[in-house]
A and B are shown apart, each in its own frame.
Chain A
Amino acid sequence: MSDFGFHLAFWSLAAMTIGGASMIVVSRNLIHAVIWLVLSMLGIAGLYLTLSAEFIAVVQVLIYVGAISVLMLFAIMLTPRAERDNSQHIKTAGPAGVVVIMVMIATMWVAIDTDWGAVREAALTEQARLIGESLIKHYILPFEIGAVLLTAALVGAIALARQDDEDAAVHAASLQAELDDDGSVDPVDVVDPPLPTDGEAST
C-alpha cells in the first residue's frame, strides 16, 4: 500500500469525522445536526475501510447512515417545532465540558499507552464469509439468544402498547376527570358545576 495514499485517506477521513462531530454540537437546528451526524458516521465507515474491515464499513453505512439517521429525522419531524431547536443556553455546559475533557484524556491514555498487539490481516474478500460462518457455527448460541431477545422485546412492546377496551374506558374516565378539574376554575362552570360522573372523577 502506498504510504501517501493511506495517510491522505486517513487524515481526510479523520477530519471529516471530527469536523462532522463538532458541527453536531455547534449547529442550532436539530435537522442540520442530524445531517452532520451522517457525515461523521460516513467518515467512521471510511476509517473502517482503511482498517480493511470492509464488512463493518458496509454495515455502518447501511444501519447508522441509512436506518438510524432516518429514524432520528422522523422523530425530530414529529416533535413540535418550538421544541426542535437546541438554541437555549445550557447552564451545565462548564462542568459537562470538564467531564468530556477528562473522558477524552482517559481515552487517549488508554489508546496510546496500551500494547494492543498486532492486527491480524485478512484478505478483503474473505470477511463477510468468515463472519457468517462463525455466526452460524461457533457463535450460533449468542446468535440465537439475540433472536430470543428480540422475541421477548416484541412481545413486551405489544403487551405494553396495546390498548385494551378496559384501558380505553379508564383513559376516558381520567380524561373526563381532567376536564372536570379544569371546569372548576372556569367561571361558566361555577354557575353550572359539572356532575360527578363516577368514582374516578373524584380522585
Chain B
Amino acid sequence: MDLEYQLIIPEFVMAGLAVVIIAAALAFRNVDQKWFGYATAIGLAIIAVITAVAYWDTNDDFGGVLAVDHFTVLFRVFFLGIAFFTVMAAVQFAGERLKNHAEFYGLIVFATLGMMLLAASRELLTAYLSLELLSFSFYILVGFNKLNPFSNEGSLKYMLLGAFSSALMLYGISLIYGVTGSTTYSAIGPDVVEGTRSIAGQLASFAGGSGGVDPDGARPGLLIGLVLITAGLGFKVSAVPFHQWTPDAYQGAPLPITAFLSAGGKAAAFAFFLRLFSEAFLPAAAEWVWFVGILAAVTMIVGNLMALQQTNFKRLMAYSSISQVGYLLVGIVALDAANITQSQDAASALVLHLIGYVTTNIAVFAAIIAFYNRTGRDDIVDLRGLAERQPFLAFAIAAALFSLAGMPLFAGFATKFIIFQAAFNNGFLWLGAIGVTASFVSLYYYLMVIKQMYLYEPEGSDRARFHVSRPLAGALVVLVAGVLFIGLYPTPLFDVIHSSTAGLFEQAAAISAAAVGN
C-alpha cells in the first residue's frame, strides 16, 4: 500500500518547527527570548499561508487514517491562526514572567500540531493519540509558571482528570471497536461493515422490523461505548458534569495559555467531536442525541449560573467558556440522520459559532494580557476605570464581551442565531429556549465587567494612562475587527464553512440513499 506523504507535509513541518525552536535555544543562548516568540509566529504564519494555498483543492485520504479535505484545511489554518495570535500576545508576558521560553513556544507548536491532526483524523486511534499530544502539551503549559502554586495546582488537577477522561474514552473506543470490528470512521459508518454487526443493519431492522435481526439485541455495547466517548470528550471540552478542572486550570495557567486553552483546546475537541459524530455515528443518532441534548442543556444552565458568582476575571472566563460549550453542543444535537441537508446546516452553524467564539475569546485575553503586563492583577474589580487609563483596551474588552453575550452587531449574535435556528429546525425547541434564556443571564455578568471599566474612576496607586506594546496592539486590532466583521457580514465565512462541512456528510448521504433503495 502506498501512502501519499505529501498530504501531511504541514504536520511534518510543524513537528520540525517545534524541534528547531527548542534546539535553537541551546545554540543561541544570548539571543533575547522575544525573538524565539517572533520566529515561532512567523513560522506559524508561513505554514498557514502555504497550507491554505496548496491544499485547498485537495480531497484525499491518508490510508483511511487521515482525511485532507476542505474541513481539514479550514481547521489547519484556523488552528495555526489561533497559535499565531497566542504567540503574538504571549511574547511580552513570557519575557517578563516565565522561564524556558523556547520550550514554552515549542510546546505551543506541539499542541497546535495535535489540534491539526485531531481535526483531520478519520480513525479512532489516530484521533486518540492526537488528543493526547494536545492534552500533554497543555498539562505542561498550564503548569509552566512553576513557582506559582496556583499554576501547579491547576496543572495537576487538569492532568489527573485528563488521564481519567482518557481512560473513559479509550474504554468507549474499545467497545465501539468490539461492536463494529473497526476503528476507521468509514468502516464504523455502516455501509462497509458486514452483516448483522453493522449499525446500519441494526438500524434497518429496527426501522423495517425485518431482516432477521433482533432489534433489541446487540445494542448495549454500542450505547455504552457512545456514552463513554461522549463523557471523555465532555471532559476535554469541559461540558458540565465534567467541568471541575476548568476554573482551576484557567486561573492557574499563565494568561496566554489560558487563552490558548480556551480557544484552541475547545476548537480542536469540537472539530473531532463534529467529524466523529457526523461521519461515524450519525446513522446511530437516535442512540446519542438525547444524552448529548441533556449535556448541552445542563452545560448552558450551570455554566451561566456559576459565572454569576465569580470575582476573578480568569474564573469568570472559565465559566463563560463552559456556557459557550453548551451552545456548541446544541450544534451537535441538531445533527439529524434523516435529513442530511439540515445536518450540514447544523454542522456549519457549529463551526461558525466556534470561529466567532474563538476570535472573541482570544481578543478578550489579548486585552487582558496587555492589562496584566502593566498591573499584574486579574480580578474583575482591578479593571475599574480602565476606560480612563487605556480607552482602546476597554473598548476591545467591551466589544468582545458583548459578542460573547450575543449582542447584535457583534459575532456572537449572528453565530448564536444560526446555531439556535438549526436546533429549532430540528425540533429541539426546548433546547433553543434554554439557550436564549441562558444568553440573557450571561449578559448580566458580562455587563458587570463593562460597568467596572466604564462607570468607575480608577483606584489605587497606579492610575496613570499606559501604552500597549505594538505587536500586541496590532493583534488586538485585527481580532476586534474580526469580531465585528463576523457579526456584521458573516456570509462569506459561512459559505467557506459550508463548502468545508459538505464532505462530512457524503458517507451518511450514501447510507441513507441505500436505506431508501432497500
Contacts and interface: CB of A to CB of B under 8 A. Distances in A.
A109 B223 CA distance: 11
A146 interface: yes
A192 interface: no
B54 interface: no
B43 interface: no
Interface residues of B, number: 50
Given A155-B106, A160-B144, A114 B179 contact: yes
Contacts of A142: 65, 123, 125-126, 129
A117 B133 contact: no
B22 interface: yes
A82 interface: no
B107 A149 contact: no
Given A110-B175, A145-B126, A115 B63 contact: no
B436 to A, nearest CB: 36
B147 interface: yes
Contacts of B113: 148
Interface in A128-170: 137-142, 145-146, 148-149, 151-153, 155-160, 162, 164, 166-167, 170
B66 A141 contact: yes
Contact of A145 (B117, B139, B219): B117
A3 interface: no
Main secondary structure of the interface of B (DSSP, over half): helix
Nearest to A152: B110
B271 to A, nearest CB: 16
B463 interface: no
A4 interface: no
Contacts of A146: 129
B157 interface: no
A148 to B, nearest CB: 5
Interface string B35-72: 00000000000000000000000000011111000000
B130 interface: yes
A102 B46 CA distance: 53
Interface in B128-148: 129-130, 132-133, 136-137, 139-141, 143-144, 146-147
A117 B129 contact: no
A148 B144 contact: no
Contact of A106 (B15, B181, B224): B224
A113 interface: yes
B129 A145 contact: yes
B130 to A, nearest CB: 6
A140 B181 CA distance: 20
Contacts of A106: 224
Nearest to B133: A149
A116 interface: yes
A167 B221 contact: no
Contacts of A153: 136, 140
A23 to B, nearest CB: 23
B224 A149 contact: no
A97 to B, nearest CB: 20
Nearest to B214: A115
A138 B136 contact: no
Contacts of B136: 149, 152-153, 156
A114 B140 contact: no
Given A141-B65, A149-B132, A110 B107 contact: no
B8 A141 contact: yes
A130 to B, nearest CB: 14
Interface string B97-128: 00110011011001001000100000101100
Contact of B3 (A140, A159, A160, A170): A140
Interface of A: prevailing SS = helix
B202 to A, nearest CB: 9
B492 interface: no
Interface string A94-125: 00000000000010011001111100000000
Given A139-B65, A145-B117, A148-B110, A115 B217 contact: yes
B1 interface: yes
A69 to B, nearest CB: 19
A164 B22 CA distance: 17
Interface string B138-178: 01110110110000000000000000000000000001001
Nearest to A161: B146
B294 interface: no
Contacts of A149: 129, 132-133, 136
A146 B133 CA distance: 8
A102 to B, nearest CB: 13
Interface string B15-48: 1001100100000000000000000000000000
B186 interface: no
B312 interface: no
A159 B146 CA distance: 10
B218 interface: yes
Contact of A148 (B15, B175, B181): B15
Contacts of A162: 100
A139 B129 CA distance: 12
A137 to B, nearest CB: 6
A142 B222 CA distance: 24
Contacts of A138: 1, 63-65
B95 interface: no
A141 B126 contact: yes
A167 B8 CA distance: 40
A117 B220 contact: no
B196 interface: yes
A10 B107 CA distance: 47
Nearest to B140: A156
B94 to A, nearest CB: 13
B178 A152 contact: no
B65 A110 contact: no
Given A110-B220, A114-B179, A155-B107, 19 more contacts: A113-B220, A138-B1, A141-B62, A141-B126, A145-B130, A148-B110, A149-B129, A149-B132, A152-B107, A152-B110, A153-B136, A153-B140, A155-B103, A156-B137, A156-B139, A156-B141, A162-B100, A167-B99, A167-B146
Interface of A: 106, 109-110, 113-117, 137-142, 145-146, 148-149, 151-153, 155-160, 162, 164, 166-167, 170
25 contacts: A110-B175, A113-B217, A113-B219, A113-B220, A114-B220, A115-B179, A117-B181, A138-B64, A141-B62, A141-B63, A148-B133, A149-B132, A152-B107, A152-B110, A152-B136, A152-B137, A155-B106, A155-B107, A156-B139, A159-B104, A159-B107, A159-B140, A160-B140, A160-B144, A170-B147
